[in-house]
């Protein structure tokens, strides 16, 4: 009888310990899930801030290159407003991501623009290099994401970022070309490369993202029409560009609509 009671007691203890360790294992598992979720959320927050700074830098680059070749009041006012806007976003983002070096490099780029020390293409590239640094930072965050579903979504997000940067580069570079009605061989080749990149990544992401990305809208058609006119000019002299009858700021607004269509898809992809 005592043996049976002891067996029952041992069995009860074993069941209790099993339940306890099972609960402890579940607790550890839940803790890991919560920790992983917090890491993912933190990465998404950082990506959101990087994304916003990239978008604002792209606008500043475009206006800066137009201003670089024509320092009239209307361009100066538009650029000044954009610089104030990006200062706000950088101050806000600095609490979450390390961007002190980027801020310093941006100030150097501003000095270059203000003093006109180099060619406009080099000025254009000084901003583009800043944006490339942020795109690389964003890509590293994506590659270090362990959750496969979220990672796959963020890969499309990265592809969209490349699309947005290609469209934004076209906006800035063509804005400068239209301002002076001149184009260098280097600028011409860059327009062709950027246009090809835009089309390549459009085919890659189309149908694979949550928000429908369409290049059929009138504003986008108008943008691509101007790009094609640049690509198809018979030669690289000013006379060939005179037929493209669109003002730089008007072009900037139209091209921004195309950039914003891509950006809407980026925002949708990052919150999944």
pLDDT number for residue 246: 87
Q: How many CB atoms lie within 10 A of CB 150?
A: 16
The mean per-residue pLDDT over the stretch 178-189 comes to 91
- Is pLDDT above 70 for 78? yes
Selected residue with higher pLDDT from 56 and 20: 56
pLDDT at residue 44, rounded to an integer: 78
Residue where the block lists tokens 């069995």: 11
**Looking at 1-5, 164-168, 214-218, which range is the least confident one?**
1-5
Nearest to 153 by CA among 191, 145, 31: 145
From the list 61, 56, 130, the residue with the least C-alpha distance to 99 is: 130
Mean pLDDT in residue range 142-155: 74
78/1: higher pLDDT: 78
Neighbour count for residue 61 (Cβ, 10 Å)? 27
Please tell me the predicted confidence (pLDDT) of residue 34.
Answer: 41
- Using the predicted structure, report yes or no on whether residue 261 has a pLDDT greater than 60: yes
The predicted model gives 131-139 an average pLDDT of 89
CB 191 within 8 A of CB 173: yes
Q: Where are the domains of the chain?
A: 47-270
pLDDT range class, residue 270, cuts 50, 70, 90? low
Q: Which percentage of the chain shows pLDDT scores above 90? A: 22
Query: Mean pLDDT score of the chain, rounded to an integer?
Result: 79
pLDDT at residue 27 above 80? Answer: no
Higher pLDDT, 168 or 35: 168
Report which of 96, 114, 137, 101 is spatially closest to residue 60, judged by C-alpha positions: 114
pLDDT in tens, 233-252: 888 776 778 888 888 988 99
Among 132-136, 203-207, 212-216, whose mean pLDDT is lowest?
A: 212-216
Span 57-76, pLDDT tens digits: 999 999 998 888 888 899 99
Q: What is the largest CA-CA distance in the chain?
A: 111
């Amino acid at each position: 009888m005592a043996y049976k009671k002891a067996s029952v007691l041992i069995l009860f203890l074993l069941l209790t310990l099993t339940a306890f360790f099972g609960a402890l294992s579940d607790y550890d598992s839940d803790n890991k899930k919560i920790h992983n979720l917090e890491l993912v959320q933190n990465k998404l927050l950082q990506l959101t801030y990087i994304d916003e700074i990239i978008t604002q830098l792209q606008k500043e680059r475009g206006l800066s290159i137009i201003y670089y070749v024509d320092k009239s009041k209307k361009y100066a006012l538009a650029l000044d407003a954009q610089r104030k806007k990006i200062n706000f976003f950088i101050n806000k983002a600095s609490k979450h991501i390390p961007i002190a070096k980027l801020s310093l490099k941006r100030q150097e780029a501003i000095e270059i623009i203000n003093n006109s020390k180099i060619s406009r293409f080099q000025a254009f590239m000084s901003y583009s290099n800043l944006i490339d640094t942020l795109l690389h930072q964003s890509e590293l965050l994506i590659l270090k994401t362990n959750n496969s579903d979220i990672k796959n979504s963020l890969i499309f997000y990265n592809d969209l970022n490349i699309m947005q940067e290609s469209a934004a580069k076209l906006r800035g570079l063509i804005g400068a070309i239209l301002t002076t009605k001149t184009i260098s061989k280097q600028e011409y080749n860059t327009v062709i490369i950027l246009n090809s990149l835009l089309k390549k990544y459009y085919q890659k992401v189309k149908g694979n993202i949550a928000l429908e990305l369409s290049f059929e809208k009138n504003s986008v058609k108008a943008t691509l029409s101007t790009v094609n006119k640049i690509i198809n000019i018979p030669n690289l002299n000013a006379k060939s560009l005179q037929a493209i009858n669109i003002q730089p700021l008007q072009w900037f607004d139209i091209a921004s609509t195309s950039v914003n269509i891509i950006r809407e898809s980026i925002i949708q992809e990052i919150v999944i």
